[in-house]
Amino acid sequence: MDEFSSGKSWLLETSYKFFIICEATVQEEERQALAAADTDAAKNVIATAEVSRKTIPTYLESRNPIYKSL
């Protein structure tokens, strides 16, 4: 009976360690996904700002004929 108890204990301990490793892996993947989403969002904001800056004329550009001819 002692062999069964020690085997059961080993199995429970191994299962618990496996669970902890899986949980840590999932948490790391979630962290990486959030970081990637933040990076993509920042890139989109920068790209949008650059496009807006290029397409919206400043006050002087819209009023000055020299700027209009360029």
pLDDT recorded at residue 10: 83
**Tens digits of pLDDT across the chain (70 residues):** 455 566 678 888 999 999 999 999 999 999 999 999 999 989 888 888 887 777 665 666 666 666 555 5
Q: Which residue has the tokens 């990076």?
A: 39
Residue type, 46: I
Rounded to two decimals, the pTM is: 0.54
Q: Classify each residue of 13-49 as buried b or exposed e, where b means 16 or more C-beta atoms within 10 Å of its C-beta.
A: eeeeeeeeeeeeeeeeeeeeeeeeeeeeeeeeeeeee
pLDDT recorded at residue 57: 59
